[in-house]
């Protein structure tokens, strides 16, 4: 037995996760299959907790909103960042308390704002227009909604442009220079209690510099907002900490983030004589490396490249196609065998871009082998689709050899369950 990465081990040439043999899981539950290690979720959450002992940690449900995963985090004391009524519903169902949830989003429906109001969930307001809508909804419901404003801090982290959210030109947030006036306006509006400030600069960020810049900008704003007489109860600096997808890649840990953010936050709040709660919203760091996607080889073809055709495609893991993301690949039933060739792992989807891993050195790959895509926990299942008429796969949770199914495989009926052919076409 030896460890290949964090919680992943190899025994008898097989990949083991959470004490379970992945080849047996593939046999028992079929493929494709997402497999998540519960203990690793707890380890990752604990690393954040240790680094930020006084902060509230709101798990970003979009990274992976499966109920069992939300439940594990609820039991660890996590709150949630939610971006839709669906995520809010699931977070509450999993036992995350309503007062530890922030309802985010740049384009919420009136229905969503109504639900947040009814359920007593705080809202991160993304525009003046939304502020006025929320005020009307709150008045009609006879309630007061606690809000933060999502600030666009104009910070440009070095990450994929599609996941950089804090740029001046991005669709998220209120420009920093307008924020103070926005608070002034909010404090006069009925049904609205401004009590926090929020930003999020992007995702898969590989150094701490942009977080320093964002925290400093946010604390400048906190000071200016305070001068208007508003008492800020929380400062939410979002998330974005990257994880190492490539072997040997070095990424900052929560501790590194804390060592640059906390001195700024503590010094500035002490100087102002205030004690707002710091909130962080990690998604990828908590769940990314906890999960592997197992997929079976349908066919091997020697053409312009050595193509390995597997049964999962970008319908189940869209990150490589969408962001050119790298996911490390192993042959789960030959996990300790030496590489014998260079292979490109492709899915079954009818698109040239359906490539999961390009030019990888792997042992001799044959039909029936099980390929494991590592670090597939964040934005994997949660971004899946039924494209090309493919029901979504199952998810299992493992812990010390105990295996539980947490989402059943969809079947062909699920493809048609909500569809109707109008009578006039019959
Ligand atoms: N808070 C807010 C307001 C967010 O928009 C996000 C992610 C997070 C927190 C969590 O960020 P994280 O800790 O996971 O970096 N689908 C892309 C990532 C999109 C991120 C969207 N927002 C991917 O697969 O890389």
pLDDT digits (tens, 9 = 90+) for 49-80: 999 999 999 999 999 999 999 999 999 999 99
| pLDDT in the model for residue 393 | 98
Per-residue model confidence as pLDDT tens digits over 76-115:
999 999 999 999 999 999 999 999 999 999 999 999 999 9
Residue 140, marked binder: no
Q: What is the mean pLDDT of residues 132-144?
A: 98
The answer to whether 323 is annotated as binding is: yes
> What is the Cα–Cα distance from 304 to 184, expressed in whole angstroms?
63
pLDDT tens per residue, range 38-55: 999 999 999 999 999 999
* Residue 350 appears among annotated catalytic residues: yes
Region 330-359: mean pLDDT is 98
* pLDDT class of 191 with cuts at 50, 70, 90: very high
What's the confidence (pLDDT) of residue 186? 97
Omega of the bond leading into 32 within 30 degrees of 0 (cis): yes
62 in a structural domain: yes
Same domain, yes or no, for 143 and 213?
yes
User: Average of pLDDT values for 222-237?
Assistant: 96
- The length of the chain, given as a count of residues: 426
Ligand 1 atom at minimal distance to the Cα of residue 240:
15
Q: Is 105 annotated as a binding residue?
A: no
Predicted pLDDT of residue 157:
81
Which ligand 1 atom sits closest to the C-alpha of 285? 13
Per-residue pLDDT averaged across 127-142, rounded? 98
Same domain, 227 and 330: no
Domain that holds residue 330: 8-30+290-415
Measured from the CA of 203, which atom of ligand 1 is nearest?
15
- Residues 269, 322: one domain? no
Q: Are residues 62 and 202 in the same domain?
A: yes
Q: Which pLDDT belongs to residue 160? A: 78
Is residue 90 domain-shared with residue 169, that is, in the same domain? yes
Does 324 map to a domain?
yes
How many folded domains does the chain comprise? 2
195 within domain boundaries: yes
Whole-number percent of the chain with pLDDT over 70: 100
User: Of 52, 206, 284, which is best to mutate to test ligand 1, by the most ligand atoms within 8 angstroms of its C-beta?
Assistant: 284
Tokens of 324: 């050119």
Q: Is the pLDDT of residue 162 over 80?
A: no
Output phi, psi for 118, to 5 deg. Answer: -60, -40
The whole-angstrom separation of Cα 244 and Cα 421 is: 47
* CATH number assigned to the domain comprising residue 329: 2.40.37.10
Q: Is 426 inside a domain boundary?
A: no
Q: Would the pLDDT of 164 be above 80?
A: no
**Separation CA 204–CA 362 (nearest Å):** 26
Assess if residue 420 is contained within a domain: no
Q: What percent of the chain has pLDDT over 90?
A: 94
pLDDT at residue 4, rounded to an integer? 84
If you average pLDDT over every residue of the chain, what do you get?
A: 96
Mean pLDDT, to the nearest integer, of 312-338? Answer: 98
What residue ranges line ligand 1, CB within 6 angstroms? 60, 62-63, 81, 104, 163, 165, 200, 203-204, 238-241, 281-285, 319, 323, 378-379
Atom of ligand 1 nearest to the CA of 379: 24
Query: What separation in Å is there between the alpha carbon of 240 and the centre of ligand 1?
Result: 6
Q: How far, in Å, is the centroid of ligand 1 from the Cα of 81?
A: 10
Ligand-binding site membership of 227 (annotated)? no
End residue of a domain, out of 266, 286, 306: 286
Indicate the DSSP class of residue 413. H
**Domain shared by 195 and 208, yes or no:** yes
75 plus 204 within the same structural domain: yes
Mutate to test the pocket of ligand 1, among 203, 321, 382 (most ligand atoms within 8 A of CB): 203
For residues 282 and 294, state if they share a domain: no
Are residues 19 and 97 located together in one domain of the fold? no
Helix ranges (H only) for 208-283 are: 209-227, 254-272
**Does residue 141 register a pLDDT over 80?**
yes
Whose alpha carbon is nearest atom 5 of ligand 1? 200
Mean pLDDT of 8-25: 98
Indicate the top mutation candidate among 45, 62, 150, 172 to test ligand 1's pocket, ranked by most ligand atoms within 8 A of CB. Answer: 62
Contact call for residues 218 and 276 (beta carbons, < 8 A): no
Instruction: With respect to residue 422, please indicate whether it lies within any of the assigned structural domains.
Output: no
343 is in an annotated binding site: no
- Model's pTM, two decimal places? 0.97
Q: pLDDT by residue (tens digit) across 145-161? A: 999 999 998 898 877 77
pLDDT at 180: 96
Question: Ligand 1 mean position to 242 CA, how many Å?
Answer: 10
- The whole-number pLDDT of residue 45 equals 98
| Position 81 in a domain | yes
**pLDDT of 361 higher than 80:** yes
In which residue are the tokens 């001195």 written? 263
CB 166 within 8 A of CB 155: yes
Residue 257 lies in a domain: yes
User: Mean pLDDT across the stretch 234-247?
Assistant: 96
**Are 272 and 360 in a shared domain?**
no
Are 382 and 328 in a shared domain? yes
**Distance from C-alpha of 193 to C-alpha of 212, rounded to nearest angstrom:** 28
Q: What pLDDT, on the 0 to 100 scale, is given for residue 5?
A: 83
pLDDT at 33 exceeding the cut of 90: yes
Is the same domain home to 91 and 196?
yes
pLDDT of residue 279: 98
pLDDT at 397: 98
CATH number, domain with residue 272:
3.20.20.10
Task: Give me the torsion for CA of 198, 203, 207, 212, rounded to 10°.
Answer: -10
């Amino acid at each position: 037995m030896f460890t290949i990465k964090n919680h992943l081990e190899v025994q008898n040439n097989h990949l083991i996760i959470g004490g379970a043999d992945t080849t047996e899981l593939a046999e028992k539950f079929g493929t494709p299959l997402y497999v998540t290690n519960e203990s690793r979720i707890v380890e990752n959450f604990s690393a954040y907790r240790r680094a930020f002992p006084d902060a509230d940690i709101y798990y970003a449900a979009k990274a992976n909103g499966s109920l069992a995963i939300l439940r594990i985090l609820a039991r660890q004391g996590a709150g949630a960042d939610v971006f839709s009524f669906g995520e809010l519903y699931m977070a509450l169902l999993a036992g995350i308390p309503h007062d530890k949830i922030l309802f985010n989003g740049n384009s919420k429906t009136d229905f969503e704002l109504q639900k947040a109001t009814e359920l007593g969930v705080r809202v991160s307001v993304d525009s003046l227009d939304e502020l006025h809508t929320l005020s009307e909804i709150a008045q009609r419901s006879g309630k007061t909604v606690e809000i933060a404003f999502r600030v666009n801090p104009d910070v440009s982290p070095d990450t994929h442009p599609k996941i950089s959210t804090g740029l001046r030109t991005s669709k998220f947030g209120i420009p920093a220079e307008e924020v103070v006036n926005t608070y002034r306006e909010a404090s006069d509006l009925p049904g609205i209690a401004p009590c926090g400030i929020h930003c999020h600069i992007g995702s898969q960020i590989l150094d701490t510099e942009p977080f320093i810049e964002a925290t400093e900008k946010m604390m400048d704003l906190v000071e200016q907002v305070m001068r208007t007489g508003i008492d800020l109860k929380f400062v939410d600096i979002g998330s974005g900490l990257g994880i190492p997808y490539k072997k040997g890649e070095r990424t900052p840990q929560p501790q590194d983030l804390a060592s640059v953010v906390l001195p700024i936050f503590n010094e500035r709040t002490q100087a102002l004589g205030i004690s707002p709660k710091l909130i962080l919203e990690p998604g990828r760091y908590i769940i990314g490396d906890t999960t592997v996607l197992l997929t079976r080889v349908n066919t091997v073809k020697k053409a312009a490249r050595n193509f390995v055709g597997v049964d999962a495609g970008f319908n189940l893991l869209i990150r490589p196609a969408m962001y050119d993301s790298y996911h490390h690949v192993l042959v789960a039933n030959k996990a300790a065998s030496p590489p014998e060739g260079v292979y490109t792992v492709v899915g079954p989807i009818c698109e040239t871009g359906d490539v999961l891993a390009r030019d990888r050195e792997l042992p001799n790959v044959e039909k029936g082998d099980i390929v494991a895509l590592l670090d597939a926990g964040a934005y994997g299942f949660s971004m899946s689709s039924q494209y090309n008429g493919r029901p979504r796969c199952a998810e299992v949770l493992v812990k010390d050899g105990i295996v539980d199914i947490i989402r059943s495989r969809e079947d062909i009926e699920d493809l048609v369950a909500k569809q109707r052919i109008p009578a006039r076409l019959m």
